[in-house]
Amino acid sequence: MLTQEIIRRKRDGQTLDRKMLDLVMGGIADGSIGDAQIGAFAMAVYLNGMNRDEAVALTESIRDSGQVMRWGGPGDLGCAGPVLDKHSTGGVGDLVSLILGPWVAACGGHVPMVSGRGLGHTGGTLDKLESIPGYDVTPSDAVFHRLVKEVGVAIIGQTGSLAPADKRLYGVRDVTATVESIPLIVASILGKKLACGLETLVMDVKVGSGAFMPTQEASRELAEAIVAIGCGAGTRTSVLLTDMNQPLADCAGNSLEVFEALRLLGGHGKESRLHQVTRSLAQEMLIQSGLAGDAEEADKRLNRALDSGEALERFSRMVQGLGGPGDLAEHAGHYLLSAPVTVDLEADRAGFLSTIDTRALGLGVVELGGGRRNAGDAIDHRVGLSHIAPLGQRIEPGQPLLRIHAADRDDADAVSQRLRRAFGLSEAPVEPPPLVHATLRQEDLS
């Protein structure tokens, strides 16, 4: 069947079957379909949507457009435990992946985590890891497989062999105003993840002022689609809707977040929002994969992995296996660069911290040089924000709202007013929002 006829069917509101979608995704992957037809296909889906069966078929076609890893069967890569992963829609101060992967690996899981770079106001896991000297986010397949099997975790970037159709399709969507389509978003997320041969996937969908989706209703719609399509494609999939009305950690910026990950993996900060959300996601991963029978058993395993130092050791072995220093945990200050200028942004009046424009804080990090304004921009891993005051805290005049880490004083001054406007104060006390708004599993869908 001709590609243009498949596009015509979708343009006219008809459904596409797996064979048609395989033809389109295969042509995107091997280059036989040009950008014009990719754009037309994406716009037809954007305008007409897809039913659930179509969305599952699209996800499977993207998954199967390249290599699909096989870990546990005879003649495969031979992992002893379940293969599982987590993915987030992105946020500010969201370094969950750096902690969660090693932590779950220390509980017996195998986590082949393929991550991305910063997008817009959100930080990228790969950008954080590249603040570690020598860390290779594009290792050979052999190194990746060995670390997932022997260490239990490897966090890398997307390889050319994994879901190649998605890379081209996403690039065209980005310049054709077709990004905001639930079937295309879900197929892009899940196609890459399921190509890693996962048995279990737990998604972290953000809600709030720093979330990717504009409203709580849109986040819920995305979450329900992810569960239904992931399960429909044969992978146990659940979603936690977590809060992004304030940064998850009290810091944002690449080196700063690696420092914080090492601190939590070392057993500190157990009362923090970051620790609690990471633990909730880890619990769900252990339960859904069968590594724990219930939340109580999951907590026991997680406590043991953290308190024994095993989770931190897994992180250290992963870093060393991907070219970084083996003693990063012991000498982080030697390897992770710090910004030469720090400036406290002080409150000019008293009140209770009632709102935070989390997106504005993320853009502030970008403006400091910690993210990209244009594709290909170099990142300054040193810069960012720390000591960010939490929602609900009583603030007095002159008390710091946050600390700016900048390359120079001019950069710090330039971003100060944007950051000051991100904080809203009220006279009455404010109750912070819940950290986990909801958990969705297949049985929760109508």
H helix or E strand, kind and range, residue 386: strand 384-386
Backbone angles phi, psi at 398, to 5 degrees: 85, -10
- Asked if 193 is an active-site residue, the reply is yes
- Asked if 173 is an active-site residue, the reply is yes
What length is written for the chain? Answer: 446
User: What CA–CA distance (Å, rounded) separates 102 from 147?
Assistant: 11
User: Of these residues, 10, 110, 168, 173, which one is catalytic?
Assistant: 173
User: What CA–CA distance (Å, rounded) separates 88 from 204?
Assistant: 4
- Asked if 88 is an active-site residue, the reply is yes
User: Of these residues, 86, 168, 314, 437, which one is catalytic?
Assistant: 86
Single-letter amino acid, residue 84: L
Rg (C-alpha) for the chain, rounded Å, is: 22
Dmax over CA atoms of the chain, in Å, equals 69
User: What CA–CA distance (Å, rounded) separates 170 from 191?
Assistant: 12
Question: Under 8 Å CB-to-CB from 157, ≥6 apart: which residues?
Answer: 114, 115, 116, 117, 126, 137, 138
User: Of these residues, 87, 110, 117, 301, which one is catalytic?
Assistant: 87
User: Of these residues, 192, 206, 382, 437, which one is catalytic?
Assistant: 192
User: Of these residues, 65, 115, 125, 289, which one is catalytic?
Assistant: 125
Q: Are 45 and 25 in contact (CB under 8 A)?
A: no
Q: Are 220 and 241 in contact (CB under 8 A)?
A: yes
- Asked if 146 is an active-site residue, the reply is no
User: Of these residues, 10, 63, 65, 85, which one is catalytic?
Assistant: 85
User: Of these residues, 145, 168, 193, 206, which one is catalytic?
Assistant: 193
Q: Are 419 and 344 in contact (CB under 8 A)?
A: no
DSSP 8-state secondary structure symbol assigned to residue 405: E
- Asked if 140 is an active-site residue, the reply is no
- Asked if 206 is an active-site residue, the reply is no
Single-letter amino acid, residue 7: I
- Asked if 65 is an active-site residue, the reply is no
Pairing of strands 400-406, 436-440: unpaired
Can you list the alpha helix ranges (DSSP code H) found in 164-215? Answer: 164-174, 182-194
Residues recognised as catalytic? 85-88, 125, 173, 188, 192-193
